[in-house]
C-alpha cells in the first residue's frame, strides 16, 4: 500500500474550529487594513501590470510568484490576497500545534493558537502586497515538510518521507530562503521535546537525520540553481541573494547567537518594552520548565544545549546571509533584527514554550500561563491595530504629498502637455512616523515604519500611476552633456528643499525635485562630480 494513503488529510472538527478562529482573529486585528486598499514601495508596477510566474527569477526566487500566479492570476487584488494568505497562515499554525507538536486540543490550545497567530511579526509581511500571498503560504508548506520528515520517526518509508520534505522545503526557499527559519526552529524544538520525554536517542536519530538531510539537500539544490541562473544572466547579483563565504560561518556563529538574544529584548517600532517582556517571560519560563522536567542529567544538558542552538536557528537566515556591499540595510535594519524573518521563527518558539507553561504540573504555573496568554493576545491586537492606523494615515499623507508635487510640476510655465520628462527626485519622505508614538529605546523598523510608499529612484512608477497620460520616463539620471547654464545655476546656487519654490526645476528634458536636505546634498555632490568630469 502506498504510505501516503495512511495519512489523514482531513481536519478534525476541533482543528477546523481552531483554524477558523485563528483566521477570524487575524481578520479582526487587521480589519482596517482589509477595508483600505494600500500598497508598499515595491508594489506600484505589479499593481499596474501584474506579475508573471518568472518575475522572481531576477532575485533567484523562482517559486516566489507560483501561488499568486495560480490563485489570483498574478495580480494584487483588494482583500483577496490577504484573506487567502490569512487562511493559509492560520491553517499552518493550527497544524503545527496539533499535528507536529501534538498539543492536546483543549481550552489551552485556543489560548495558544490565537495569541500566536496574531503576533505582530506579521506586520512587515503586510507592507508588501506583491508577495503577501506567497509569504503567508510558505509557513503552510514548511509545516507540511516538517510533518513529512517527522513521519520517519515511526515509519519504514524513510526515503519517501525525506524526499517529500526535501522537495517541499526546496520549493519554499526557492521563493523566500528565510522561510527555512521555521523549518530548522520547529525541527529543533521537536527534537528537544522528544528527548525531554526520555525518548531513546537512537529512535530520534532517524527523524533528526531526515530534518538535517532535507535542509542540506534543499539548500545545496538552491545553491546550484543560483549558479546556473547567474551564468545564464537571468539572475542578478543583488543585496538579498548573497551568502556568507564558507570560511565565515564559524566566525559568525557566536555573534549571530548574541544578536539573536539581543533581538528578544530590543524594543522596535510596534514591539514595545512590554511586548518584549511578555514574550521573553514566556520563553524563559518555558525553558525553565523544560529543563526541570527533563528526567535525567543527560536530558537536562541536551535541553540546555538545544536552547543555545535555538538562538542560532531563530536567526538562521541572518547567519547564512552576507552583509550588503554598502551596509545600507545592515545599518538601517540588520538581518538579525528584521521582523520579516522573525515571522518565520518566533511564533513557533512562543507556541512551543507557551504550551509547556500551560501543561505544567503545578496549577499556579498554569494560571500564570493563562495570564501571560491573555496579556500577549491583548498586546498583539493593540500592536496590530496601531500598525494599521499608522499604515493608512501614512499612505494617505504621502499620496497627498505626491499630488502636491504633481500639481507643482504640471502648473509650471515650462511644463508641456504630451511630453516626456526625466524626473530626478532627491530623497524621500516617510510620513508614517508622524502618526506613530514611539517608545523609549526603540531601534530599527525600516520597513515596519521608516520606509515610504515610494522609491525615489523609480519615479516613473508612481508619478505615472494615476495620470491620464504618462509623462515621466523610466530613466532618472542626469547626463553631463545635458547640463545647461540654467540647470547649473539651479544646482549650484538656487536649489532649496521642498516646499520652497526653488525646490523644483524644469526644462524641456528634466524635472528635478529637491525633496529633502539629505537628497539635496547628494544631488549637489553628484553635480560637482559630473561637472568636474566634463572636458
* Predicted pLDDT at 534: 47
Pick the range with the lowest mean pLDDT from 73-87, 96-110, 230-244, 358-372: 230-244
Residue 496, Cβ density class (10 Å: 0-12 exposed, 13-18 middle, ≥19 buried):
middle
Q: How confident is the model at residue 533 (pLDDT cuts 50, 70, 90)?
A: very low
Residue 189 has pLDDT above 70, yes or no: yes
How many C-beta atoms surround the C-beta of residue 52 within 10 A? Answer: 13
Contact between residue 460 and residue 472 where contact means Cβ atoms under 8 Å apart: yes
Distance of CA 47 to the CA centre of its chain: 19
Pick the range with the lowest mean pLDDT from 152-161, 273-282, 516-525: 152-161
Q: How far apart are CA 313 and CA 127, in angstroms?
A: 25
Pick the range with the lowest mean pLDDT from 298-307, 324-333, 453-462: 324-333
Q: What is the mean pLDDT of the chain?
A: 90
Q: How far apart are CA 359 and CA 296, in angstroms?
A: 20
CA distances from 129 to 66, 83, 235, 446 (A): 15, 12, 22, 17
pLDDT greater at residue 157 or residue 114:
114
Distance of CA 319 to the CA centre of its chain: 16
Taking only the tens place, the pLDDT of each residue in 466-488 is 999 999 998 778 888 888 999 99
* Percentage of the chain lying above the pLDDT 90 cut: 68
* Predicted pLDDT at 108: 72
Give the SS3 label for residue 205.
helix
Q: How far apart are CA 389 and CA 392, in angstroms?
A: 5
Taking alpha carbons only, the member of 20, 18, 12, 28 closest to residue 107 is: 18
How many C-beta atoms surround the C-beta of residue 196 within 10 A? Answer: 20
Taking only the tens place, the pLDDT of each residue in 190-229 is 999 988 776 666 777 888 999 999 999 999 999 999 999 9
Mean pLDDT calculated for residue range 243-258 = 82
Taking only the tens place, the pLDDT of each residue in 339-381 is 989 999 999 999 999 999 999 999 999 999 999 999 999 999 9
- DSSP category for residue 156: S
Contact between residue 523 and residue 491 where contact means Cβ atoms under 8 Å apart: yes
Mean pLDDT calculated for residue range 161-172 = 96
Residue 328 has pLDDT above 90, yes or no: no
* Predicted pLDDT at 278: 97
Taking only the tens place, the pLDDT of each residue in 45-84 is 999 999 999 999 988 899 999 999 999 999 999 899 999 9
* Predicted pLDDT at 22: 96
Q: How confident is the model at residue 242 (pLDDT cuts 50, 70, 90)?
A: low
Taking only the tens place, the pLDDT of each residue in 405-433 is 999 999 999 999 989 999 999 989 999 99
Per-residue b or e along 283-314, where b marks 16 or more CB atoms closer than 10 Å to that residue's CB: bebbbebbbebbeeeebbebbeebbebbbbbb
Q: How confident is the model at residue 527 (pLDDT cuts 50, 70, 90)?
A: confident
Pairing relation of β-strands 510-514 and 422-426? parallel
Contact between residue 461 and residue 281 where contact means Cβ atoms under 8 Å apart: no
Residues 6+ apart with CB under 8 A from 280: 264, 265
Q: How confident is the model at residue 535 (pLDDT cuts 50, 70, 90)?
A: very low
Taking alpha carbons only, the member of 209, 169, 210, 208 closest to residue 191 is: 208
Q: How confident is the model at residue 307 (pLDDT cuts 50, 70, 90)?
A: very high
* Predicted pLDDT at 332: 62
The phi, psi pair for 512, rounded to 5°, reads -115, 125
Residue 106 has pLDDT above 80, yes or no: no
Mean pLDDT calculated for residue range 129-135 = 94
The pTM for the full model equals 0.92
* Predicted pLDDT at 238: 66
* Predicted pLDDT at 1: 45
Please identify which residue in the block is written with the cell numbers 525531554: 196
Residue 146 has pLDDT above 70, yes or no: yes
Between the two ends of the chain, the Cα-to-Cα distance in Å is 80
Mean pLDDT calculated for residue range 118-124 = 96
Contact between residue 377 and residue 369 where contact means Cβ atoms under 8 Å apart: no
pLDDT greater at residue 156 or residue 159:
159
Cα-trace Rg, the chain: 26
Mean pLDDT calculated for residue range 8-23 = 90
Residue 397 has pLDDT above 90, yes or no: yes
Q: How far apart are CA 318 and CA 348, in angstroms?
A: 18
Give the SS3 label for residue 136.
helix
Amino acid at each position: 500500500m502506498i504510505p501516503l494513503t495512511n495519512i489523514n488529510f482531513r481536519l478534525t472538527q476541533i482543528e477546523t474550529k481552531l483554524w477558523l478562529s485563528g483566521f477570524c482573529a487575524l481578520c479582526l486585528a487587521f480589519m482596517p487594513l482589509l477595508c483600505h486598499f494600500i500598497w508598499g514601495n515595491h508594489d506600484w508596477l505589479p499593481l499596474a501590470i501584474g506579475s508573471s510566474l518568472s518575475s522572481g527569477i531576477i532575485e533567484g526566487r523562482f517559486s516566489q510568484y507560483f501561488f499568486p500566479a495560480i490563485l489570483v492570476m498574478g495580480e494584487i487584488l483588494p482583500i483577496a490576497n490577504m484573506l487567502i494568505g490569512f487562511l493559509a497562515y492560520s491553517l499552518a499554525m493550527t497544524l503545527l500545534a496539533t499535528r507536529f507538536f501534538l498539543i492536546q486540543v483543549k481550552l489551552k490550545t485556543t489560548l495558544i493558537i490565537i495569541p500566536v497567530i496574531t503576533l505582530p511579526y506579521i506586520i512587515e509581511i503586510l507592507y508588501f502586497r506583491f508577495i503577501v500571498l506567497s509569504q503567508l503560504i510558505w509557513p503552510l508548506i514548511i509545516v507540511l515538510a516538517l510533518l513529512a520528515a517527522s513521519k520517519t520517526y515511526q515509519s519504514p518509508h524513510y526515503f519517501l518521507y525525506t524526499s517529500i520534505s526535501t522537495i517541499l522545503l526546496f520549493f519554499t526557499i526557492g521563493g523566500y530562503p528565510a522561510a527555512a527559519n521555521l523549518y530548522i526552529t520547529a525541527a529543533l524544538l521537536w527534537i528537544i521535546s522528544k528527548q525531554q520525554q526520555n525518548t531513546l536517542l537512537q529512535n530520534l536519530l532517524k527523524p533528526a537525520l531526515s530534518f538535517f538531510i532535507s535542509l542540506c539537500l534543499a539548500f545545496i539544490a538552491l545553491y546550484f540553481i543560483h549558479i546556473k541562473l547567474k551564468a545564464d544572466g537571468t539572475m542578478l547579483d543583488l543585496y538579498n541573494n548573497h551568502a556568507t563565504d564558507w570560511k565565515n560561518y564559524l566566525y559568525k556563529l557566536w555573534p549571530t547567537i548574541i544578536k539573536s538574544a539581543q533581538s528578544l529584548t530590543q524594543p522596535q517600532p510596534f514591539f514595545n518594552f512590554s511586548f518584549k517582556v511578555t514574550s521573553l517571560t514566556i520563553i524563559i519560563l518555558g525553558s525553565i520548565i523544560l529543563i526541570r522536567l527533563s528526567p535525567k542529567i543527560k536530558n537536562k544538558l541536551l535541553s540546555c544545549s538545544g536552547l543555545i542552538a535555538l538562538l542560532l536557528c531563530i536567526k538562521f537566515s541572518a547567519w547564512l546571509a552576507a552583509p550588503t556591499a554598502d551596509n545600507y540595510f545592515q545599518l538601517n535594519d540588520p538581518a538579525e533584527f528584521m521582523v520579516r524573518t522573525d515571522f518565520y521563527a518566533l511564533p513557533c518558539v512562543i507556541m512551543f514554550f507557551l504550551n509547556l507553561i500551560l501543561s505544567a504540573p503545578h496549577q499556579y504555573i498554569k494560571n500564570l500561563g493563562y495570564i501571560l496568554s491573555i496579556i500577549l493576545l491583548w498586546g498583539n491586537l493593540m500592536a496590530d491595530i496601531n500598525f494599521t492606523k499608522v499604515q493608512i494615515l501614512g499612505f494617505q499623507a504621502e499620496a497627498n504629498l505626491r499630488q502636491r508635487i504633481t500639481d507643482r510640476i504640471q502648473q509650471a510655465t515650462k511644463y508641456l502637455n504630451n511630453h516626456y520628462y526625466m524626473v530626478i527626485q532627491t530623497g524621500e519622505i516617510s510620513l508614517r512616523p508622524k502618526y506613530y508614538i514611539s517608545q523609549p529605546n526603540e531601534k530599527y523598523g525600516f520597513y515596519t515604519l521608516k520606509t515610504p510608499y515610494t522609491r525615489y529612484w523609480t519615479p516613473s512608477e508612481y508619478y505615472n500611476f494615476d495620470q491620464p497620460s504618462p509623462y515621466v520616463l523610466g530613466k532618472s539620471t542626469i547626463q553631463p552633456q545635458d547640463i545647461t547654464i540654467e540647470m547649473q545655476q539651479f544646482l549650484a546656487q538656487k536649489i532649496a528643499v521642498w516646499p520652497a519654490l526653488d525646490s523644483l526645476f524644469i526644462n524641456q528634458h528634466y524635472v528635478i525635485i529637491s525633496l529633502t536636505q539629505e537628497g539635496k546634498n547628494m544631488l549637489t555632490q553628484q553635480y560637482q562630480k559630473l561637472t568636474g568630469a566634463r572636458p
